Every structure is written in structure tokens, then in C-alpha cells.
Amino acid sequence: MSDDRPVPLDEYPVHQAPLSMKHHVSGDRNAYDRCIFQVFDHAGRTLLIAGLGVYPNLGVIDAYATVRSGDRIHAVRASDALGDDRMNLSVGPLRIVVDEPLHRLRLICEADPGDPDSLSYDISWTGDFPPLWEPHHTQRRGDRLTLEGRRFVQAGHCTGTLRFGGQEVAVTAGEWTGTRDRSWGVRPVPGESDGRADEFRPEGFHWLWIPVRFEDRFLMVIAQEDADGYRTLNEAVLVRDGHRDAQLGWPRTDITYRPGTRHPERALVHLTDPAGKPLELAVETLCSSPLAIGAGYPPAPDWQHGTWQGRGWSERLVYDLSDPSAHPLAGFGVTDHSARFTLEGRTGYGIFEHGSFGRHDPSGFTGYDSVASR
């Protein structure tokens, strides 16, 4: 028997279809609606990644938080049955409070009552620039639509307190930066056969997502390429004075990888201003957190977003990254790197999100086992 009563959000004039706000307009099992936040210090000591997702056709809501410090990642994950109040952004010990939409949010993780040294935080996230739409993102494997997402990105500053591993860290404006991405649409959730689409498994995938906050401007660069280097997603936009100011051409990135790996240590992003003047965005990565370790992104072997774990599920884990061989799948997922950026004499901070798997001819990678030369 189904419960087909109206839900609280039905009180508001926000409907996009003749349906209750409880129901998604698409019946696709992979429909999703979620967010990710990155909060990091400018010295490269600490990187917090947190997010929450709703999967309306699977009846699941989940959330996570990871903190990278030294060689350890402290992680909290929680999942539950999706309720009727879609404005209640909480799962287990994790909560997001929208104080002022598109400007000020509060990120909360409650400590384990039995372990006062466990991961917890209470952080105010404030946007310094208006949210910026990203390009409409679609991916297909053969005839099958595997991803269609609408996204916006934003950068700002953060204040609050972060606790993990018996230490307390003050999150202060001027010494910490916050970025975030908000997306919704269709995205693969484990548990469904690929069917014939498996015949079209890509030879390679190369991804860059780079939001950068300067004191007086915000820069966003996105590039997605296939094994041949053919670009399927492209963006380079500068925001100043509260509005989209300029497009900066076709970004081309030279990445210096740690020998024997695909771990980026430095990069140079070549841009062009509207008058044709070359611009160079220099990148120095500081602290790195693979999203497949703790955060539930593919190909995480223990837990992935949208998967049903039962009611009231949560767990806390600490991952040791000192031995890379202990996490063999981490290199086949996307990694968020907090980074220091320089552009025309200005210093900024942001995220250098990078994923490179399989063949990528422009980088000289010949297959999934190919790494940077020593």
C-alpha cells in the first residue's frame, strides 16, 4: 500500500509538473539531487569534504564527511529511508542547514556520543560570489544516457570548529576557503546491469573541475576529454563585481605528475582573455583526498551513493593512506586536491579536481596501467 498524501513542500508554488513534490518527474531509478562542499586551510594541512544526496525513485537519502590530515582520512557516512520533508537535510549525525539560500549555509556533524575524539564539526559556509551555472552535462554509453546533470558552483569563506582524532581545529576566515557544487539530474547508482552499454566501455576518461577563489574574483575551469583528447565539456569563466565577466577561451592544461603515478603536483592552465591575450593560471596542489576513499564515489569498494543500507545506517572509519597499495581502486576515481593558484600576480585558493583513467593521448597515458614516467 502506498502513502500518497501531500508532503510539506506541496504548500509552496514550486511545482514543475502535475505531481506531488514527493515524486520525481522522471521514473529513472538513477535520478538524484545532491551537493558537495570542500573546506580547506591555505597551508594544506586539512581538507574537509562533505555532501548529501537524495535519490527519490530509490527512496534513499545519504550523506558523508571526510577529513584528510596527514596520512589519514577520517570518515563518517550515513544513509536512511527518504522521508516526506525534503527541506530537512539531515541523515544520522550529518546535517546541512540553509540559513540564506545561495549565500549562507551551516554544515554540522555531531560526534559519536561514545567517542569524544571522533569526527565532528560546526561550520558556517558563506558565499563570496554568486553561484555560477556550469555547462549542461550529458554522457552516453552507446544509446544509453548514463548522466545528465544541471549544476552550479560557488566559492566563499568559512568559520567554525572542526574536531577529529583528538584535535580541535579553528576554521577562520582569511585562512580557509570553501567551494561547493550543487547538482541534480540522472547519475549512475550501483545495482543495475549495464546491458548492451557494456560494449561501449570507454578506453579512457580525463576530467578537470577547477573552482578558484581570489579576493576580488572567482574563476571556474572545466574540461572533460575522452581517450583521444576529444573534449566533451569545456568552460573557462571569470566572475567579477558579482556577475559573469568574461569567457577565457579554450583552457589547455600542462600537468606535472608525481613520477610513477597520475598524482598531479603542479599544473599550468593556459587561458585567453576576450582580447586574445594569453593568461596563465599556475597550480600547486596542497592536500589530496580521493573521493573513492570514504566519500562514496565510484569505484569505492565499501559504500557508494544511493545504495540502500537499511534504515538508520551509519558508520565511522579511519583510512590510512601511508601505503597506497592498500587502496588500489583510489587511483581509478576522481581526487579533490586543495591548491594554491596564481594568476597575473594574484594568489587564490581553490580545488583542483582531477581524474585520469585509461588511455589519454594528450597526457601520454597509453592504458589503465600507464603512469607518469620516472
3-state secondary structure (DSSP) of residue 34: strand
Question: How many helices (DSSP H) and strands (DSSP E) are in the chain?
Answer: 0, 23
Average pLDDT over residues 116-136: 96
The answer to whether the predicted template modeling score (pTM) of the entire model surpasses 0.85 is yes
Residue ranges of domains in the chain: 31-188+203-363
Angle among Cα 315, 316, 317 to the nearest 5 degrees reads 125
- The CATH number of domain 31-188+203-363 is 2.40.370.10: yes
Rounded CA separation 326/319 (Å): 10
Checking if the pLDDT of 1 tops 70, the result is: no
Listed range (1-5, 46-50, 264-268, 343-347) with the worst mean pLDDT: 1-5
Tens digits of residue pLDDT in 279-291: 999 999 999 999 9
Rounded CA separation 38/294 (Å): 14
Rounded to the nearest angstrom, the gap between the alpha carbon of residue 103 and the centroid of all alpha carbons in its chain is 18
Checking if the pLDDT of 243 tops 90, the result is: no
Tens digits of residue pLDDT in 153-171: 999 999 999 999 999 999 9
Listed range (36-45, 148-157, 211-220, 322-331) with the worst mean pLDDT: 322-331
Q: Which amino acid is at 341?
A: F
The answer to whether 25 touches 18, Cβ cutoff 8 Å, is no
Residue written as grid cell 581517450:
227
Residue 147 is predicted with a pLDDT of 93
